Amino acid sequence: MIWPYPRVVAHRGAGTLAPENTLGAIRHGASLGFRGVEFDVMLAGDGTPLLIHDETLERTTDGKGAVAHMPYAEIAKFDAGRWLAERWSGERVPLFADAGCLCRELGVWANVEIKPAKGFEAQTGRAVAEMARELWRGADRPPVLSSFAPEALIAAKVAGPELPRGMLVGRVPADWKARMRELDCVAVHCDYRTLTQPLLEEIHASGYAVLVWTVNDPREAKKLLDWGIDCIVTDRLDLIAPHC
């Protein structure tokens, strides 16, 4: 495919410069000129889609417990910014609905990683796709839905067949062509350290795009972009320019 999205994307909102997966992070990344953002969506215990990476609350909030076992009304009480710096105190775990609306307001494209808690793969894929369809209805550039969980991608395909999907892997598997066909994805999303230029060219020749994560060295970013990589995700918004 011809990649119609930004080539440099802010990881979890604004990388290391703001508390991950928060509205403040999305705003901060956009303020630095980044027109693409990546974030993670999981379901709370009541089925509400929200932004968080871990299955538990401890690392990125002042709360405790499993995300999948707690209603969103409880999760929303916890601070999700102070862990990084006092200036971010008051940030909350946001709703996917609010993050999507903010992206559209700011003109920021989104790579939405479906991040299901274990055992909730299909349920999460379905819920994220259904909500994404509504949030980006009529948008020129809909989000790409990606996931490590094949079950989540299959459920997303059924719930929102028109939304593009990315197969998220650490290392591109030997049977990647069969998997891409099965999941009906438009792009391979992989760890940049496992990618070679010949493999990139092979994937491109088969009609797919390639996104790599998480590239934090400007020299590596330049090399990959020179290879013709479609998109890089980075934490270092202070070192890698949004318009490489």
28 is a catalytic site residue: no
Residue 242 lies in a domain: no
Residue 243 lies in a domain: no
Q: Which amino acid is residue 127, in one-letter code? A: A
Q: What is the CATH number of the domain that holds 154?
A: 3.20.20.190
Q: Which long-range contacts (CB under 8 A, 24 or more apart) does 101-104 make?
A: 101/135, 102/23, 102/26, 102/27, 103/26, 103/37, 103/143, 104/135, 104/136, 104/139
3-class DSSP assignment, residue 82? coil
- How many of the other CB atoms lie within 10 Å of CB of 107? 9
Number of compact structural domains in the chain = 1
The answer to whether position 171 is within a domain reads yes
Q: Structure tokens of 116?
A: 């299901």
Residue 59 domain-assigned (yes or no): yes
In a domain, 1, yes or no: no
Assign 1 a pLDDT band (cuts: 50, 70, 90): confident
Per-residue pLDDT reduced to its tens digit, 110-127 = 999 999 999 999 999 999
Residue 25 lies in a domain: yes
Strands 144-147 and 187-191, bridge-based pairing: unpaired
Report pLDDT for 244: 67
Would you say residue 58 lies in a domain? yes
Q: Kindly report, residue by residue over 34-79, the tens digit of the pLDDT.
A: 999 999 999 999 999 999 999 999 999 999 999 999 999 999 999 9
What average pLDDT is seen over the chain?
98
Tokens (6 digits) for 13: 């909102």
11, 189, 204, 243: the active-site residue: 11
20 is in which domain, residue-wise? 8-234
Q: What is the rounded distance in angstroms from the CA atom of residue 115 to the CA atom of residue 113? A: 6
Q: Is residue 2 part of a domain?
A: no
**Does the pLDDT at position 103 exceed 80?**
yes
Which one of the listed residues 28, 53, 204, 243 is annotated catalytic? Answer: 53
Residue 243 is a catalytic residue:
no
Per-residue pLDDT tens over the stretch 130-143: 999 999 999 999 99
Region 7-32: what's the mean pLDDT? 98
Confidence of residue 243 (pLDDT cuts 50, 70, 90): confident
pLDDT per residue over 187-214, tens digit each? 999 999 999 999 999 999 999 999 999 9
